[in-house]
Structure 1
Amino acid sequence: MRFPYPMTVESELREAERALYAAMVRKDTAALETMLHDDLIFVHSTALVEGCPTYLASVAANRYRYESIVPRPGGIIRLFDDFALMSGEVDMNTTLHVQVVLGWVRKDGRWQLVLRHAARIPEA
């Protein structure tokens, strides 16, 4: 299916997702601070919910062991002016398979994550 928005928007969002996952794996809180919106709602697959400052503090304290985060092909993007939703499946640490929804808002010409919601996909 053809992407219904300009390819630059899709490319920007895919790059923002890639950069987000890379920063999470590196535990790069400085990079994450620029990518995360102040009003972030971060819902883990365990149902733990954190705001931006709490999530950044948790990453800095090494509470999460992100070894790898790899999106599977076929994710969906929906654009609503300066807000975008991405939905797709992600493999985390090669053992955890999750469905994620990412909400991005365009602020000052760049995309910032305002929502991340993950749900575990049960083993078959």
Structure 2
Amino acid sequence: MFGCLSFLLIALSLSAATPAVADEEKTLRALEQKLCEAFRSSNAEVIGQIEDDNYTLTSSTAKVTGRADDLAEAKNNEPHYDVFSNHDVKLRFYGDTAILNGITSVKGTSAGKPFAADFQYTDTWIKRDGQWKLVASHATKIVQ
């Protein structure tokens, strides 16, 4: 009897948590989409709101950059993105930390020259004071 009661209580607690997790997943997916659009439209204000002050990106060339670099690129519209989108995204939660893995597809111009590429990426998000902030990213170019 105790085992059945324990199982029932655990099942009820898991089902109660499911809507909250679904809401958090929806929020993070929307934030990632908003960030992609901010890069595509060179919206430094939105990038600054979403990225943590100490945000770092390890690029596909192993260069480590930060929030200030992203803001400068957006303000200068360099590179210019015609396409900046994420797809095939998988999301996992670890308390107030979330890891997203997926593919970023980009197309645009840099120094007047066209480019197009796909990158396998990992984004790390932390929830602080009720807000999700992007704290770290890693991108690896997918070679066709």
Q: TM-score, normalised by structure 2?
A: 0.74
| 3-state SS of paired residue (1:68) | strand
CA shift for structure 1 position 121: 0.6
Q: For the residues of structure 2 that align with 1:65 and 1:43, how far apart are their CA atoms?
A: 20
For structure 2, list consecutive stretches of 5 or more residues without a partner in the other structure: 1-17, 109-115
> How far apart are 1:26 and its partner, in Å?
0.9
After superposition, the CA RMSD in angstroms is 1.8
Q: Secondary structure, in 3 states, of the residue corresponding to 1:46?
A: coil
Please name the residue that 2:101 is paired with: 87
| Structure showing greater Rg | 2
What is the TM-score of this pair, normalised by structure 1? 0.85
Which has the higher relative contact order, 1 or 2, with Cα contacts under 8 A spaced 6 or more apart? 1
Q: Whose strand proportion is higher, 1 or 2? A: 2
Gaps of 5+ in 1: none
Shift of 1:86: 0.3
Percent identical across equivalent pairs? 25
Q: 1:115 to 1:48 in 2, by over 3 A?
A: same
In the alignment, the residues of structure 1 paired with residue 79 and residue 60 of structure 2 have an alpha-carbon distance, to the nearest angstrom, of: 12
Aligned residue number for residue 119 of structure 2: 98
In the TM superposition, what is the alpha-carbon distance from 1:84 to its structure 2 partner?
Answer: 0.7
* Residues 1-124 of structure 1 mapped to structure 2, 5 A cutoff: 6-73=21-88, 75-93=89-107, 95-123=116-144
